[in-house]
Amino acid sequence: TEQTAEWLQEYVDDWVKFYRKHTNEGNVASYIPLLKEVDPDLLGITIMGRNGMKISSGDIGQQFTLQSISKLLTFIVACMTRGISYVLNRVDVEPTGEAFNSIMHLELNELKKPFNPFVNAGAITVTSMLEGKTSDLKLEPIFELLEKMLGYRPSLNVDVYESERDSSMRNRAIGYYLLEIGFLESDLNITLETYFKQCSIDVTVDDLAKIGVILASDGVDPDTREEIIPRQVARIAKALMLTCGMYDASGKFATYVGVPAKSGVSGGIVAVAPPRVREENLPFLDGCGIGVFGPALDEKGNSIAGIRLLRHIASQWDLSIF
């Protein structure tokens, strides 16, 4: 296994070097003022196998905020605390084919629910389901889940939080609309404060890879064998990642990469390659989690080099679930 790791490491180093050149085809997010400050050429990746193998390359020490990746965690926490049917009675599980912060699709669902937990309307609705009277109390189970998965408690990036809070007209519009039609289960301002804070939790590619490998193991931490996320919740989360995780590029990502993934406008992506029966196999490929960070984004808001790097790795290592 060690030899395999060394051998794979050289490949991954080469691929990161190659795809870093692609960062200049994208742009860092600018609608949240503080996200503009980051170096667009950054690119880092960690791949964690269910067998404990770990490969990291590029700018791996770099911290970045979860942004939309937090929607995955809020959804998991809401299912764990309120129950799956409670959550899914209030938010649907259908892709929109529109941008994450679109206000066009709000009224179109014939079920009269937000389309899915990964567009802002659905995510804000899910956040309003979290228990607790203040944003910090609502966030506590998210931090606890992260601490269980990562082995440390990540911190809130207060500067990013304030930057988003102070430039959040679109999300406030969505919030007011949800309030008007009676979807919010908590006070609007507390819900939005919680949402902006969950988006502003700092992580690294190692952290995303760990989250990914736990999901690849149906919610069980492969290191400790502890079940952190109930199997059924992990399954639904992965189905949502595959269908809605990469915004309105989810179909292309499923086609060309073929694994459940969730991205955020900071340039992070968490990808999950579940174990798969193959005729020929590297032990490493029996399920892994991948964390990528590359803040230069494509026109859909996904990391441009990150997606290309994932596509390359998935094809080289035959990771597609299909």
Residues with active-site annotation: 68, 71, 195, 247, 265
| Sign for the pseudo-dihedral over CA of 101, 120, 243, 217 | positive
Binding flags for ligand GLN, 75-114, as an x/- string (CB under 6 A): -------------------------xx-------------
68 marked as part of a ligand binding site: yes
- 12 versus 91: smaller Cβ distance to ligand GLN: 91
Helix 69-82 to helix 205-216 angle (10° resolution) is 40
109 marked as part of a ligand binding site: no
Alpha helices in the chain (DSSP H): 2-20, 69-82, 84-90, 120-129, 135-150, 158-165, 169-180, 188-199, 205-216, 231-244, 250-256, 304-316
Q: What is the C-alpha separation between 249 and 14, in angstroms, rounded?
A: 26
110 marked as part of a ligand binding site: no
- 195 versus 284: smaller Cβ distance to ligand GLN: 195
Residues 6+ apart with CB under 8 A from 196: 161, 164, 165, 168, 171
With binding defined as CB under 6 A, does residue 178 bind ligand GLN?
no
With binding defined as CB under 6 A, does residue 161 bind ligand GLN?
no
Tokens 């506590």 belong to which residue?
140
Within 234-263, which residues bind ligand GLN (CB under 6 A)?
A: none
With binding defined as CB under 6 A, does residue 293 bind ligand GLN?
no
Q: How far is the CB of 2 from ligand GLN (least distance, A)?
A: 37
With binding defined as CB under 6 A, does residue 116 bind ligand GLN?
no
With binding defined as CB under 6 A, does residue 306 bind ligand GLN?
no
- 199 versus 319: smaller Cβ distance to ligand GLN: 199
CA angle (116 as vertex; 197, 87 as ends), nearest 5: 80
265 marked as part of a ligand binding site: yes
Nearest Cα to 113, choosing from 98, 124, 99? 124
Is residue 223 within 8 Å of 52, Cβ to Cβ?
yes
Within 28-67, which residues bind ligand GLN (CB under 6 A)?
A: 67
193 marked as part of a ligand binding site: no
With binding defined as CB under 6 A, does residue 199 bind ligand GLN?
yes
DSSP designation for 104: S
Q: Which residues are annotated as a binding site?
A: 68, 120, 164, 171, 195, 247, 265
Which residues make up the interface to ligand GLN (CB under 6 A)? 67-68, 100-101, 120, 164, 171, 199, 264-265, 301
